[in-house]
Structure 1
């Protein structure tokens, strides 16, 4: 019997010269940029058919993985209630249903449910559905909400009357999804996006009872490297417009009782000055990097005198402590800090009679303040988990220091026991001598053996820190002998703000060399070997994967690049693409020759080589607004032409979703099962 050979799609080449700084790059697959071209859609569908053919042998195993993952999830579940302005708010899930149900109860949890939204009903007939931006008016009678039906994060805003159930506002398209109410219960502020670039650039004011066509622009951000948002302070006294870029902030404030007055600038933007504001007791509290406070400090200023000259220190800058955020309560200030990579939560009374830290004793964990919308309370809600411990939601009495565990994530199926797993933190050494932390988890009793399959994950951009966290989905790998590791590479803020600064702009390559150093460490210490080491990254983490396999493909048996940002130079030169101009402070502006040449030297698409590559799975979404689908599509087409091995190269395009993948909780789980099945098949594990 002759075995059928399935041939991969071969994208046609239409050479296009791309010229910048007298340098010519030839892009054979630039034509894939046009989603309106039927040949482009045909190519993506051909790749999907090829993916289906190449993975058909383990389709049943993939289905069983999905059922296994799903069986660990409590289907009839609900969030821990939180109280705001006289109502308890709860999010529920029902057995067999993909989407959340939002309810509230007045005054006490014993009162009957009041349905806000049943997303299962609202999602009927839609391939993709996302509800965001719920904002309740001060008198509790109205709620604004927004819906995305494509996955492109372009939301349609509406208002529902909670007394009658009627939809009050004609649909406002092309918004960010968020909105906030003035204290008069009839004025709503919201943010719209530029139609082409999807940059959030205008704040509008709407009056209930009028058509949205009469809405007025109250702020227009004309600098295309900035975005804008609008919200209300926790004290409920101020409406706030936030203008933000990677390195610079500016805020405008307005008393929420006088929504028809103009906003006033809090402190004019100064390039490199980052700050955020919180209001309390006639003062604003400011987390800022002013005066070279690299790890940020806390300052305050009178609400009547908000300019820089009036700011005074509350908590000074510390070289070894990153000040990440604050939560303000009537009697307490809660400070979220990070030192040596670990989260700390500090509680300080305004009268200075108390100043202490919550105790955490794990070697590697994640702790964070949670939903704390109530200002006048002594209860702090926070979350805790580790790579071996499911997430807990905890209420902590800041006066009595008593804690109440309100909920611990249930892992169903009857097989999970956290005592069967171990986690540790180890340190690799980068080429420049820098120590790079790695958080790891595995089944207890794991031996240092080169045959251990290991999945190494990283992100490493925008100062985003990937804390060690629990995942019930991940158990499907751990229980089959995998080690799971997170490389805390430079470009995140795991070890402070300098950790981020050392992994961006003209130091971006540190992110890639750190990951390679972590990979070599795991191999040299016999946690695994190159025959059993796998790498995973998504979005900017997909850029990391692409750069790493160009530089050191021999270290990995397989990699997964999810919605990968791989065509760096071309994208950053095109200021019509969503998000590009706002990214200059992260990656550099390639209109400057120095940044152009540096980007070109690491851009995964530009540096594909004629060499052997590991097995590769690439995923994307047709409607992705953050990393356009054509980046991974072009990258795969070029890899097919250049690579000199016979390893798998698969492209899976979700034709109905965007950057975040499928919208339903179970549909999203299927994507996890696909990735895990790909890895396990490479390890010849099929049960």
Structure 2
């Protein structure tokens, strides 16, 4: 057990870097805003680079006394992690694919071995026993991330694909952190790379079923995926065909192969409506066919498949997950030729009805079953129905794998169209990640069967019984009940003396689902009570929960978070003056908003890659992703009401002369989602306006992207930095008696 109470803070006040002021005027809808720090946006400027380096130097000096605590937390993360480990093999066609990690190495190693075909379906889909550190006979290394990353400042994989015959392996690599990838293709028979190299692609790649071409996505200058292209192997990249180009700057484009690999499925949409276009891969010259045009303003996903009728005849069918007359979405099936008719004349057959209490997140198919992801009472879960009789009076009953915890997350993590099983990932706050195979129901096995394939090991004497997770509720100012997940070490006393941390996000209908985190244990072991606030703007309580926290309802996100903080302060667990807040990206905007609204409620705030200059960013459609944000926040360019509303909460423009708490802005120089300039400007103005004396620092990773630096050990140290800042600020640096690594 490590105690580090000897850490001391610097006795001499340190002077933060002061950026020069260069007034830049912005005028919209008659409102004039003068921005003195906009010049920091010039990423190529030597003066900007030097200023960012000075920020890092200041941060390092201010937080130097936290280094022993950072090292202790890093060692705790490392000590609980089985560093030489591997994923559970998943089958694709005639091979088992998996990834190894090796102690001392930053990146995973992607491997495969050949699968057997005995004729026993379940046995053939039972993954082989692969041991950490032990190479299997016939093991083939597809990609060693450690070799690929050697000598590079950053390394991330943006997609992989294998041809159906198993001969070619495609992978996309980012060596800068800007989420632009280089695509390469390896011949697995020889180990040699093909001459085909495609630069500057986006996430996701897929081979055509015959393996002669590969599909990929390209982003435009504002970092919006807008083209799906096809590269024919052995031809010049300059000749690559544009399958589809989306010119609406407010729409996002993506693609995948259908589950049965007969169609290329293009998904075009925003958060409020969408459009799907299909291309038959055996008839590419027939072109793209639109399922439901975007003009109908329906938010939907479409999956084409062949559905056998009572007579055994297969009909081209479209599986729709949609919000037509269903705010929480529902599932229908439609004969493909129905889409030739006007929408009002089409015949849709209901498979999963709409419910105000159940949010349908998505649906897919195997050759025998429909697989549905739903959310009820904040919890995500999986249901399956047989395809036989689907959409008729003979439709079967949904079967749901049963788990025994109250707060958990279960989702489909992979499936193959022809497999008799689906792969399910399971986790809870104190149950390490599990991988299950769920044997799909049959007449002989009507309830299916849940088979545990692996529970991620946690070392260091970890026991789930040392911790407690409960569901609590805060009451917002308008009377809305806000769900909270409250996590603590079992030995924390309910005597109003402990430290507390409130974490939140609350945007884009993203839910903060229960999940295990090794790093989080280091906070709980120091007696910090952690509250995950499921605020409006997320998706925990359905589509209305999201709608009530976006656009002109966005302030509900902030006030919900403050209500969660007030609940914690009055809970009897913590001292009200020992509460910190943390959030990242849009959750970083949340941090900036609550810092302005209620700075007195927090001893410290950590804002990671924070979207704190939101109005200024969204007003410039040339900046990355700005136009796509209009469906989330509103369009302040054309709508004066949206402009005025955003102006009233955007963090950078609402800084005022108050005592701000300790604040850490954590960012990356190459982040393309939330540019480094936002926190760089924010901390400058905070320091200029605060009437308090607490330090305000910015930590910038000069080689990282939106997720920070690459490499697992580097990422562990980044998380240790964040948590040490919180624990130190709350005076909770020492482990509880009996807590920590054993």
TM-score, normalising length: structure 1: 0.97
Select 1:267's aligned residue among 282, 292, 303.
Answer: 292
For 1:305 and 1:141, locate their aligned partners in 2 and report how far apart those are by CA, in whole Å: 39
CA positional deviation for 1:527:
2.5
- For residues 277-306 of structure 1, the C-alpha deviation after alignment (integer angstroms, 9 at most, x for no partner) is 123322110100012x10001011123443
| Distance in 2 (alpha carbons) for counterparts of 1:556 and 1:686 | 17
| Cα distance in structure 2, aligned partners of 1:300 and 1:169 | 44
Native 8 Å contact 1:145 1:178 kept in 2: no
Conservation of the 8 A alpha-carbon contact between 1:180 and 1:230: no
Q: 2:418: which partner in 1?
A: 376
User: Aligned equivalents of 2:707 and 2:181: distance in 1?
Assistant: 15
Match of 2:328 among 295, 301, 308: 295
Equivalent position SS for 2:519:
coil
Deviation at 1:377, TM superposition (A): 2.6
Shift of 1:64: 2.2
- 1:255 is matched with which residue? 280
Deviation of 1:453 after TM superposition, in Å, equals 0.9
Could you say which residue in structure 1 is the equivalent of 2:61?
Answer: 53
Instruction: Supply the distance in 2 between the matched residues of 1:99 and 1:107 (Cα, whole angstroms).
Output: 25
Q: Secondary structure at the match of 1:313?
A: strand
1:573 maps to: 619
Alpha-carbon distance in 2 for matches of 1:523, 1:57: 28
Deviation at 1:446, TM superposition (A): 2.9
Work out whether 1:361 is the aligned partner of 2:394.
no
SS at match of 2:202: strand
- Cα distance in 2 for partners of 1:421, 1:633 equals 38
Where does the alignment leave 5 or more consecutive residues of structure 1 unmatched?
none
For 1:260 and 1:314, the matched residues in 2 are separated by 33
Q: CA deviation at 1:76?
A: 0.7
Match for residue 138 of structure 2? 112
SS for the counterpart of 1:314 is strand
Could you say which residue in structure 2 is the equivalent of 1:486? 532
- After TM superposition, give the deviation of residue 535 of structure 1 in Å: 0.5
Superposed, 1:146-165 pairs within 5 Å as 146-165=172-191
Q: 1:330 to 1:514 in 2, by over 3 A?
A: same
1:82 aligns with 2:90: yes
Structure 1 residues 169 and 305: CA distance shift in structure 2, 3 A:
farther
Q: How much does 1:151 deviate?
A: 0.9
User: Using the alignment, how far apart are the partners of 2:730 and 2:531 within structure 1?
Assistant: 17
Q: Distance in 1 between matches of 2:576 and 2:683?
A: 23
The Cα shift of 1:18 comes to 0.8
- What aligned pairs does 1:589-668 form with structure 2 within 5 A after superposition? 589-591=635-637, 592-668=639-715
Separation in 1, partners of 2:284, 2:115: 29
The one-character-per-residue Cα deviations of 1:300-334 (angstroms, maximum 9, x if unpaired) are 11234435424332222111110112232222222
Secondary structure class of the residue paired with 2:723: helix
The answer to which of 484-493 and 332-341 deviates more is 332-341
Q: Is the CA contact 1:200–1:229 (under 8 Å) kept in the aligned structure 2? A: yes
* Matched position secondary structure for 1:217: strand
- Conserved 8 A contact 2:258-2:304: yes
| 8 Å Cα contact 1:388-1:441 kept in structure 2 | no
CA contact (8 A) 1:32 1:633 kept: yes
In the alignment, is the contact (CA less than 8 A) between 1:156 and 1:177 conserved in 2?
A: no
CA contact (8 A) 2:603 2:730 kept: no
Match of 1:474 among 513, 520, 525: 520
Quick one: distance in 1 between partners of 2:283 and 2:187? 23
SS in 2 for 1:529: strand
- Aligned match for 1:398, one of 440, 443, 457: 440
Aligned to 1:207: 232
Residue 726 (structure 2) pairs with residue 679 (structure 1) = yes
Query: CA shift at 1:569, angstroms?
Result: 1.2
Match of 1:70 in 2: 78
Is this contact kept in 2: 1:385–1:392, CA < 8 A?
A: yes
Rate the CA distance shift 1:169–1:272 in 2: closer, same or farther, 3 A: farther
Report the CA distance shift for 1:46/1:163 in structure 2 as closer, same or farther (over 3 A).
same
Distance (Å, rounded) in 2 between the aligned partners of 1:176 and 1:570 = 26
The more displaced of 134-143 and 346-355 is 346-355
Q: Distance in 1 between matches of 2:400 and 2:733?
A: 47
Residues 122-133 of structure 1: matches in 2 within 5 Å? 122-133=148-159
Residue 186 of structure 1, aligned match among 208, 212, 231? 212
Distance in 2, Cα, partners of 1:97 & 1:31: 40
Shift of 1:258: 2.9
Conservation of the 8 A alpha-carbon contact between 1:247 and 1:271 = no
| CA–CA distance in structure 1, aligned partners of residues 245 and 428 of structure 2 | 43
Correspondence list, 1:155-554, <5 A? 155-194=181-220, 196-270=221-295, 272-281=297-306, 282-291=316-325, 293-306=326-339, 308=343, 309-351=346-388, 352-372=395-415, 374-399=416-441, 400=445, 401-413=448-460, 415-554=461-600
Query: What is the deviation of 1:169?
Result: 4.2
In 2, distance between residues paired with 1:494 and 1:385?
16
Q: TM-score, normalised by structure 2?
A: 0.90
Q: In 1, distance between residues paired with 2:66 and 2:250?
A: 46
Q: Would you say the 8 A contact 1:465–1:488 is kept in 2? A: yes
1:43 and 1:295 map into 2 onto residues whose CA distance is 48
Question: What whole-Å deviation, never above 9, does each CA across 1:239-269 have from its counterpart, x for those lacking one?
Answer: 1111122212111111122334422222211
Does structure 2 conserve the Cα–Cα contact (< 8 Å) formed by 1:169 and 1:208? no
Q: CA deviation at 1:119?
A: 0.7
Cα deviation digits, residues 496-532 of structure 1 (max 9, x gap): 1100000000000000000001111111222223311
The verdict on how the C-alpha distance between 1:424 and 1:385 changes in structure 2, with shifts beyond 3 A counting, is: same
